[in-house]
Amino acid sequence: MSTAPNRRAVAVILLIPLMVTLALWAFAWPAARIAPRDLPVGVAGPASAAQQLEQRFEQRDGAFDVHRFDDEAAARTAIEDRTVYGAVVVTPQGPHLLTASAASPVVSQLLREAVTASAPEDTPVRVTDVVAAPPGDPRGSALGASVLPLALAGMAAGAVVTLMGLRGARAAVTLIGAAALVGLAATAVAHSWLGVVTGDWWTEAGVLALTVLAIGSAVAGLAALFGPRGIGLGALLMVLLGNPFSGVTSAPELLPEPVGAIGQWLPPGAGGSLLRSVAFFDGSAAGAAVLTLSLWTLFGLAAVLFARRAPTPAEPVEPAREPALTG
């Protein structure tokens, strides 16, 4: 009796629990450890009162990164520029909390609870949502749920291009075309139908298309470099790690370190952050995300265009040509 089938069966038996354990760790662990970690917040008002408020934030060691502003107008500008998630303005009537639920409803609620708990008794806390989440998605749940379908779309594009045996320029054009159509379709659903995003329609379509292209080209590029194993590596990076590490459902600064930073270096996290910027903040703080997605795209397309790999089972193997007879 051959031992090869037995070995394969044992490998499957061991691999499936390992994959499930890894998936549970990647998805459940960051969600179970959500807490502020160097969360950018602002403080504005008279120097003495603002300093006392700043010291209260700093008492929670490592939780907040406090920025000082001269007045409420400067704090509002910083929120709109995505420099801080919110700010507390000290006024004679009591603290005035400025939030941006469009940046993260979870952070807005966290700041509301923190400021209310630290305010003196019988002192009302006025709250103003400077950049509010859209009425179609007030809790940000729909936007957070959009990351996984984008990752799966990119994965599918990269895997199909590889398994169909497309190479070179044909593979690159296929990836670009598929990403463009996904961007248009996803924007039609998220913007025109559900009202989840409310920015410029074509800019949002471009962001979604670039996100899918970065994922798809990365998967196809890894497969061009490492063969079919590259598809599995791409799934690990883009879906198993990229989705839960993206911080789209909460905020990167709420995830355990260095998960939040790693998530922003991967296309799902960069794409989610970029979509928030163009959908609600007129493109503010979009540079790092654009650079991340562009680098992944360039790496993947370069590998697809120039890497030499063994043909997949779907590709015909070209027969060796006999040398031409001379004389």
- Alpha carbon 235 to its chain centroid, in Å, reads 15
Mean pLDDT, residues 267-295: 96
State residue 198's pLDDT score.
93
What pLDDT sits at residue 327? 41
- Distance in Å from the first CA to the final CA of the chain: 57
Amino acid identity for residue 99 in this structure: T
Q: How confident is the model at residue 318 (pLDDT cuts 50, 70, 90)?
A: low
Cα–Cα separations (whole angstroms), residue 162 to 66, 283, 315:
48, 34, 10
Q: What is the DSSP string of 48-64?
A: HHHHHHHHHHHHSTTTE
Cβ 248 vs Cβ 223: under 8 Å: no
210: nearest Cα among 294, 285, 272: 294
At 83 the three-state DSSP class reads: coil
More confidently predicted of 317 and 9: 9
94 phi-psi bin (left φ>0, alpha ψ -120 to 50, beta other):
left
> Does residue 217 sit in helix, strand or coil?
helix
Give the lowest-confidence range in 90-104, 266-280, 300-314: 300-314
- The pLDDT confidence band at residue 61, using thresholds 50, 70 and 90, is confident
Among 40-54, 121-135, 209-223, the range of highest mean pLDDT: 209-223
Residue with the two structure tokens 């027969």: 319
d(CA 2, CA 48): 81
Confidence of residue 321 (pLDDT cuts 50, 70, 90): low
- In the numeric block, the tokens 């300093």 are attached to 51
The mean pLDDT of 130-135, rounded to a whole number, is 95
**What predicted TM-score, i.e. pTM, was given to this entire model?**
0.88
Q: What is the pLDDT of residue 127?
A: 94
